[in-house]
Structures are given as structure tokens and as C-alpha cells.
Amino acid sequence: MNNDDNLILLILMKKFNNDISIYIYDIYLIDKYFSNGLNNKSIKLFKNRYFKNNTDKINKIINIINPDFLNIYYIKKLLLNDEITLKILNKIPIMIKFLNYYHKNNKNLLLSICKIDNSLIKYASNELKSDIDFIDKMIDIFPASIYYAKKELKDNYDLALKAVSIDGDVIEYLSERLRNNNEIIIIAKKNNFNYF
């Protein structure tokens, strides 16, 4: 805290009771250090003050953050736990692109952000792209997810049937064997004629 900040806090404490003055001061800090752009001081303030343990303050900070490219480096430093990570990814789903393997391999996290932006499946780990349960759930969200599935899953009859039942055009992403399967072709034709 610098001298100006101390002066503001002292004035607030004299004018109001402690709880109100601390709340007003926190709002002032959030506006000052998080609204215009993040920097090392913002991150230090977030980690050292009780913001990281206060859901209300975390929500205010996340809502005020500008999700521009210059902030990405600092936004990554705010991801102190899964709860904060999920909140930030809900606001800025493309952040998954810049996160580590742990996040890209988190099935529930990927399913959650793919509901916001289904194209983000491309950032899922190779393990998830090989996970039949993950791909099955992704087909419910975005049938063309089968495009990102590993080769053996593109040859899975049940997944293929489910995908073409929703959108026949996804037949083009299936294995050659399934693209030539009469039942798959008939169902795909019923659901979309563009591919044919």
C-alpha cells in the first residue's frame, strides 16, 4: 500500500465504521488496479489481500478485467485454484489456449467451456480426444466434435450413429468404413443433405 492509499483508508475509517470503510476501500482498489489493465501490483494485491478468498470480490474483479491479449500473462497469474479458473474461463473461454496441460486435460472444465464456445475442443488434451465418454458428451454439445476425436473413435459405430443422428454432415469426419456404412448413410441423409 502506498502513502496515497493509506491516506484514503484513514479518511474512510474516520468517516465510516471499519467494515464499510474496508469495503469502500476494496472497491477503490479493485477499480484502480484491475479495470485499466493488470500488472505485477494487481497480482500482488490479489494474492496478498483477502480478495482471493472472497467470492464477491473475485466476481467483481473478474467482471472488471479487460480480456485483451496484453492481460493474458497476468490473468494466468490469477488462476490460484479451480474455482477462480472456472470463473475466468466462463468469462474468457479462449484462455484455455494459454493454460497448461492440467487444465486442458480436465474433462469437466473442457465440457463446461465448450458449452460456451464449442470450437475450444481443439485445445483439449490428446487423452481427452481419445476418451470415448468425453467425445460422447461433446457430440451432444457439438456433433462435429468427432472431427477432433482420435482415429479409433472416428471408427466407433455408436459415436458415429449418434453424431449423424444430430447432424448428417459430420459423416465426412468418420472413418472410411463408417462413411460407407448403409445405415450411417441413411441416417445422415435424413438429418442433413449438404454432404451428399
d(CA 152, CA 155): 5
Pick from 187, 164, 189, 186: which is nearest to 174 by CA? 164
Pick from 163, 164, 169: which is nearest to 138 by CA? 163
Q: Each residue's pLDDT tens digit in the chain (196 positions)?
A: 455 666 766 676 666 667 777 777 788 888 888 888 888 988 888 888 767 778 888 888 888 888 877 788 888 888 888 888 888 998 889 999 999 999 999 999 999 999 999 999 999 999 999 999 999 999 999 999 999 999 999 999 999 999 999 999 999 999 999 999 999 999 999 887 565 5
The pLDDT value recorded for residue 187 is: 92
> Taking the model in full, what pTM does it have?
0.79
Cα 51 to Cα 30, 54, 101, 103: the distances in Å are 9, 5, 26, 23
Domain limits, the chain: 117-196
Pick from 92, 55, 56, 50: which is nearest to 75 by CA? 92
